[in-house]
């Protein structure tokens, strides 16, 4: 008995030390590894719902889950050692009691394994509702929506939707949890009854003097301890290990997701790169999991030092062109050539050096204004170039009102941080693209939230700044299209018309019809 007490003390200290070391090591390995893996994933996995569910499930607190798994393994080892210690005591005196307890514990073990698996699967199913509930919670409590929340008074309405999603997730988990809780604990009660029976049987040798009162108490303690270990502790930790095993399956599936080669590579030095032309040759493309071609036998040639406007209605395939050019997808039919060389032969680092893009949903980085712009070229920091970009985009007034100037943190997540207006954030995003020493600059409807005249002014400024560079404006609003050397009209996944503004207006086709329908938007300019 003294050995067991000594073991428990030393084991607690040892397990605590091992847990601490494991947590530090796992944090270092898994947090870095999972972040890098996620960054290397092919873009199609991000847009696929099933893959995104797997990514979200795997990347949510991976360190905690892995550490929890190791702690459960150590806990299981600890319990097994204690079980064998108690079994050793029982076997020497009442071997049949030990065998009975082991026999009735096997079903408990199997139930615990099934329960752990079922609980993890239930969590996966409930996660779809939980994610929606989390989004609604952020809308109800976050800073970004505070103005509309106060104006429209939708708190009660959305709170009801949040509660519905929360309840759906809770019911899924509760159903499985109760099912296996009742089964396991019901079986555990049987073991308690049997343990009482064993203790009752031991009273006979005690009354006959075959065992001493001290031995009797020792056997009773061993029996109750073994019952506790086998029916409660071991069942619980077995269930947790089953959950950890299911998580490891998800983690393995996540790590096996295909990667984009060179995704983490820094852009090539632009001095090594040249640009002459881009050519789409009979390109057809559909997004994974869909049955509609976004581009159909698409043909287009883009030449250096010219400004292009790619226009068309929403859903025509304009943004898809950007995704194909930047290497986000390569599962297209036909051929895309850059400088008469297949785009599939270019490394990702080379494509990063060729293209600079301002997306419609451009990123807002809650770091300093200066760092926001410098992210455009992670290879170099050029203070003179930074000043030029700030001046070109007329950001001096914005910087002047910031308490620490360009070193002021943007957003409200840091003390002293300052938020910007929508137009100012757009200028910062464009500044980042201009700071990038790319050969081709693409504006993919980043000004869609602005009014048409303001949008046209932004495009005009961008065109002037980008003199001597190849630029592509992508838009469904045509005020800026007149600035382009060549306008490409996309309709039903193909090039329907192309030429200058004057030529297309004379043609009287799709472009002319779209422009006339939008003419009133630009009366101050047209």
Query: pLDDT by residue (tens digit) across 55-97?
Result: 888 888 887 787 778 777 877 787 777 777 777 766 776 777 7
Q: What is the CATH number of the domain that holds 136?
A: 1.20.1560.10
- Mapping DSSP to helix (H, G, I), strand (E, B) and coil, where does residue 416 land? coil
pLDDT for 9 equals 47
142 inside domain: yes
326-340, 349-363, 510-524: which range is least confident on average? Answer: 510-524
350 inside domain: yes
What is the spatial distance between Cα 488 and Cα 498, in angstroms, rounded to a whole number?
A: 5
Mark which of 224, 255, 286 sits at the end of a domain: 255
Mark which of 230, 255, 280 sits at the end of a domain: 255
Name the pairing type of β-strands 307-311 and 355-358.
unpaired
- Mapping DSSP to helix (H, G, I), strand (E, B) and coil, where does residue 215 land? helix
260 inside domain: no
172 inside domain: yes
| Percent of the chain with pLDDT strictly greater than 70 | 78
Is the pLDDT at 162 greater than 70? The verdict is: yes
Residues 330 and 241 in one domain: no
Contact 229, 135 (CB under 8 A): no
Is the pLDDT at 40 greater than 80? The verdict is: yes
Residues 233 and 143 in one domain: yes
Once rounded to an integer, what is the mean pLDDT over residues 146-175? 81
Q: What is the CATH number of the domain that holds 349?
A: 3.40.50.300
Residues 190 and 296 in one domain: no
State CA 103 to chain mean position distance. Answer: 46
Residues 210 and 85 in one domain: yes
Half-sphere exposure at residue 295, Cβ-oriented, CA atoms within 13 angstroms = 28
User: Directed axis angle between helix 62-141 and helix 213-228, to 10°?
Assistant: 60
Residues 240 and 290 in one domain: no
State CA 473 to chain mean position distance. Answer: 29
pLDDT for 20 equals 67
Residues 440 and 516 in one domain: yes
11-20, 36-45, 73-82, 484-493: which range is least confident on average? Answer: 11-20
Mark which of 215, 232, 255 sits at the end of a domain: 255
pLDDT for 485 equals 87
Burial 474-507 (b: 16+ CB within 10 A, else e): bbbbbbbbbbbebbbbbbebbbebbeebeebeee
Residues 32 and 69 in one domain: yes
Residues 458 and 383 in one domain: yes
Residues 46 and 140 in one domain: yes
Average pLDDT of every residue of the chain: 80
Residues 356 and 468 in one domain: yes
Is the pLDDT at 418 greater than 80? The verdict is: yes
pLDDT for 119 equals 80
25 inside domain: yes
Domain that residue 368 falls in: 270-522
Once rounded to an integer, what is the mean pLDDT over residues 502-515? 89
**Residues near 161 by beta carbon (within 8 Å), at least 6 away in sequence:** 136
The total number of structural domains in the chain stands at 2
33 inside domain: yes
- Confidence category of residue 324, pLDDT binned at 50, 70, 90: very high
Once rounded to an integer, what is the mean pLDDT over residues 419-429? 85
Q: DSSP code of 294?
A: S
What is the spatial distance between Cα 524 and Cα 526, in angstroms, rounded to a whole number?
A: 6
307 inside domain: yes
Residues 389 and 416 in one domain: yes
Residues 277 and 202 in one domain: no
Is the pLDDT at 115 greater than 80? The verdict is: no
- Confidence category of residue 8, pLDDT binned at 50, 70, 90: low
- Residue 101: what are its φ and ψ, rounded to 5°? -65, -40
265 inside domain: no
What is the spatial distance between Cα 295 and Cα 309, in angstroms, rounded to a whole number?
A: 17
What is the spatial distance between Cα 402 and Cα 14, in angstroms, rounded to a whole number?
A: 53
Once rounded to an integer, what is the mean pLDDT over residues 272-296? 88
Half-sphere exposure at residue 364, Cβ-oriented, CA atoms within 13 angstroms = 17
Once rounded to an integer, what is the mean pLDDT over residues 11-34? 66
Is 429 or 208 the better-scoring residue by pLDDT? 429
């Amino acid at each position: 008995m003294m050995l067991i007490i000594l073991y428990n003390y030393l084991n607690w200290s040892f397990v605590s030390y091992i847990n601490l070391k494991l947590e530090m090591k796992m944090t270092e390995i898994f947090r870095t590894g999972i972040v890098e893996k996620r960054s290397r994933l092919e873009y199609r996995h991000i847009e696929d719902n099933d893959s995104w569910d797997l990514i979200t499930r795997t990347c949510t607190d991976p360190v905690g889950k892995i550490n929890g798994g190791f702690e459960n393994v150590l806990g299981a080892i600890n319990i097994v050692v204690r079980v064998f210690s108690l079994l050793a005591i029982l076997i020497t005196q009442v071997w049949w009691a030990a065998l009975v307890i082991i026999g009735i514990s096997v079903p408990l073990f199997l139930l615990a394994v099934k329960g752990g698996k079922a609980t993890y699967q239930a969590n996966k199913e409930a996660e779809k509702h939980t994610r929606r509930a989390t989004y609604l919670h952020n809308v109800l409590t976050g800073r970004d929506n505070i103005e509309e929340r106060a104006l429209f008074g939708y708190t009660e309405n959305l709170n009801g939707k949040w509660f519905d999603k929360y309840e759906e997730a809770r019911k899924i988990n509760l159903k499985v949890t109760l099912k296996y809780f009742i089964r396991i604990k019901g079986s555990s009660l049987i073991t308690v009854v049997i343990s009482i029976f064993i203790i009752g049987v031991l009273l006979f040798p005690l009354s006959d003097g075959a065992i001493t009162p001290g031995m009797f108490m020792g056997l009773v303690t061993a029996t109750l301890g073994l019952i506790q270990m086998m029916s409660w502790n071991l069942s619980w930790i077995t269930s947790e290990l089953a959950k950890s095993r299911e998580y490891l399956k998800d983690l393995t599936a996540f790590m096996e997701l295909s990667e984009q080669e060179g995704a983490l590579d820094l852009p090539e030095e632009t001095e090594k790169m040249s640009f002459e032309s881009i050519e789409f040759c009979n390109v057809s493309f559909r997004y994974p999991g869909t049955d509609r071609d976004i581009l159909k036998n698409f043909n287009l040639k883009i030449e250096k030092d010219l400004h292009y406007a790619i226009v068309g209605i929403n859903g025509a395939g304009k943004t898809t062109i950007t995704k194909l050019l930047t290497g986000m997808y390569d599962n297209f039919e036909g051929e895309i050539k850059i400088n008469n060389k297949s785009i599939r032969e270019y490394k990702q680092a080379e494509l990063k050096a060729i293209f600079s893009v301002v997306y419609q949903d451009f990123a807002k980085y809650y770091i300093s204004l200066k760092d926001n712009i410098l992210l455009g070229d992670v290879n170099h920091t050029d203070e003179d170039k930074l000043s030029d970009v700030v001046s070109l985009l007329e950001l001096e007034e914005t910087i002047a009102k910031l308490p620490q100037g360009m070193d002021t943190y943007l957003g409200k997540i840091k003390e002293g941080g300052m938020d910007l207006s929508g137009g100012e954030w757009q200028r910062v995003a464009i500044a980042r693209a201009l700071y990038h020493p790319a050969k081709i600059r693409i504006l993919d409807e980043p000004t869609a939230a602005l009014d048409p005249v303001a949008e046209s002014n932004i495009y005009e400024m961008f065109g002037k700044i980008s003199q001597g560079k190849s630029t592509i404006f992508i838009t469904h609003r045509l005020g800026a299209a007149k600035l382009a050397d060549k306008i490409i009209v996309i309709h039903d996944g193909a090039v329907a018309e192309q030429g200058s503004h004057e030529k297309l207006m004379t043609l009287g086709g799709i472009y002319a019809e779209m422009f006339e329908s939008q003419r009133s938007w630009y009366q101050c300019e047209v």
